[in-house]
Amino acid sequence: MSDDLVLHLEGLKVETIKGATLVDHVDATLKRGEILGLIGESGAGKSTIGLAAMAYARAGCRITGGSITINGTNLRASTAVQRRNFRGKSIAYIAQSAAASFNPAMTLMDQVCEAPVTHGVMSRQEAETYARRLFRTLQLPDPDTFGDRYPHEASGGQLQRAMAAMAMSCRPDIIVLDEPTTALDVTTQIEVLALLRDLIREFGTAGLYITHDLAVVAQIAQRIMVLRHGKMVEVGDARQVLERPATPYATALVNERREAKQLPLIDPPADAKVMLNVTNVEAGYRTGSSVVRNINVTIARGETLAVVGESGSGKSSLARVVAGLLPRWTGDVKLAGETLAPALAQRPREVLRRLQMVHQMPDVALNPRQSLGEIIGRPVGFFFNRSKSAVRDRVAELLRLVGLPEDFANRRPGQLSGGQKQRVCIARALAAEPDLIICDEPTSALDPLVAEEVLKLLRRLQDELGLAYMFITHDLGTVRRIAHRTAVMLKGEIIAQGATADIFSPPFHPYTEKLIASVPEMDTTWLDQVLAGRGAAAA
């Protein structure tokens, strides 16, 4: 074994305490300074492997087989205390959502210095000096005083970088990056990605980079491991996996990502009967500043309007204003020519029926204690007052319509996959026979291949039933797949609106251009090109 080998996983097996296999016979090696990208859908076992590399398993799981060797020490043969000494010191972890992982009652400096001081690597003084150096490398604002802030005083992107500083604070040999940029906006993602890459290069750390986004991993990893259902599908050089994937599954993943770029843009429908008409709407949560203002949009029958923007741009608030969940202050919302009351409670049942919503997180949008028959059947019984047997027939029909077997009516949401749950949400919306469906990021919680299927379903239903969609999303690839027209939002206002083809072709609005340029591409040199472009623009 060469001295360069810092991490060696062999025949790794992780099971739940009930005996289900999560990770099966995974082998991986990491040389000093090398980054291995772990790619796969949710549930593929990526995070489980990342944690297992630290000889840790989540509550309810067990590492049941294989060996985990860090710098020549087999962690599985060590005691709990010995393992703890490795964690943080030799191998560190960056979690997906930094905002949820910091202690809100401690300053960032206290949290960053905790590990090196506890492990006895540095004195508090040295740790603070080193932390300030890391803050500077990570381009955090005011690196000398940044550590005095509490987590709520930093933005999501800053916290993600602070967490990277925390992980690097003991100068570990290996760093596990668990989707560190997934929760960030595309524009922030670039910066964090570039800084993480520089940080790893500067300190010669090896890394396990976990992500579901091939384009992200293309920028940072030298080698890629594709995982599915806890098993290795393909391992190889990053460029080779991305350009010439050997297995069908990896090919499907790569192609899905590739097609997003080349999709033909959809023409608006000929039938232009206006379904939704929003004029001069302004709304906010409390008295004070509004979160959306000067909003004017229309959606025709059979048409999809995509509303895109970063988080905090007000796109979800706009959806909530139309739905009546967030009462508007001023302006007018008309559904098929009829003015809607601002608040949900004032709207008659018939209006509620005609306007339905599909939520972002199918996991919490379905009551886990109700069967699909009850979930989908309730709107049928509620709005149309049908008999029990008629409701049952309609539920079967709706399940067929969204591509699920009829006998799913007896199942509960817990027995379904994410994509199936989202289909049920769509079926529930369709049960009300609506005119307009507000889709609030319906595919962003789904894996790319599953999301693609859900988008196809939405388009088919639109063609068959003439539905109008208001489609909220931050993913420009999704916009190209589904939207006839697009509205771009920034800081609560619509800054550009028009046919999707026009929005996505020059001349761009500067912000639209920034959004488009920020979507990672699978080219391994993309990040360098973007950064070079920015540098040139700045100079």
Where along the sequence are the contacts to another protein (CB under 8 A)?
A: 17, 55-60, 62-63, 76, 80, 83, 323-325, 344, 347, 349, 352, 356-357, 359-361, 364-370, 378-379, 382-383, 428, 432
Distance, in Å, from the CA atom of 342 to the CA atom of 322, rounded to the nearest integer, reads 8
Instruction: Identify how many contiguous H helices and E strands the chain contains and give both numbers.
Output: 21, 20
CB-nearer residue toward another protein: 351 or 390: 351
The single-letter code of the amino acid at 348 is P
Identify the CA nearest to 30 among candidates 2, 64, 66: 2
- Per-residue three-class SS string for 235-251: EEEHHHHHHCCCCHHHH
Residue (222 or 444) nearer to another protein, CB: 444
Residue 168 CB, nearest distance to another protein (Å)? 23
Distance in Å, CB of 56 to another protein, minimum: 5
Q: Largest alpha-carbon pair distance within the chain?
A: 75
Is residue 251 within 8 Å of 81, Cβ to Cβ?
Answer: no
Element (H, E) at 215: helix 214-220
Closest to another protein by CB, 388 or 539: 388
Evaluate the CA torsion angle 343, 348, 354, 358 in order and state its sign. Answer: positive
27: helix, coil or strand? Answer: strand
Cβ distance 248 to 281 under 8 Å? no
Which is nearest to 291 in space by CA: 69, 51, 490, 430? 490
Q: Least distance in Å: CB of 357 to another protein? A: 6
Residue 361 or 465 having the CB closest to another protein:
361
Q: Which residue(s) pair with 177 in the sheet? A: 94, 209
Nearest approach, Cβ of 129 to another protein (angstroms)? 33
Cβ proximity to another protein: between 318 and 527 the closer is 318
> Can you tell me which residue has the tokens 């020490």?
73
Least Å distance, CB 408 to another protein, is: 17
Displacement of CA 314 from its chain's centroid (Å):
18
CB of 248 to another protein, least distance (A): 35
- Nearest approach, Cβ of 80 to another protein (angstroms)? 4
Of 157 and 373, the one with the shorter C-beta distance to another protein is 373
What's the CA gap between 213 and 472, in Å, rounded? 20
- CB of 99 vs another protein, minimal distance in Å: 18
Q: What is the DSSP letter of 75?
A: G
The CB density around residue 25, as the number of other CB atoms within 10 Å, is 14
Torsions phi, psi for 425 (to 5 deg): -60, -40
Which is nearer to another protein, 79 or 387 (by Cβ)? 79
CA distances from 344 to 289, 360, 460 (A): 22, 20, 29
Nearer of residues 283 and 527 to another protein, judged by Cβ: 283
What are the tokens at 527? Answer: 């990040």
Backbone angles phi, psi at 410, to 5 degrees: -90, -10
For another protein, the closer of residues 58 and 124 by Cβ is 58
35-39 and 206-211 strand pairing = parallel
CB nearer to another protein: give 31 or 119.
Answer: 119
Instruction: Give the shortest CB-210-to-another protein separation in angstroms.
Output: 19
CB of 320 to another protein, least distance (A): 10
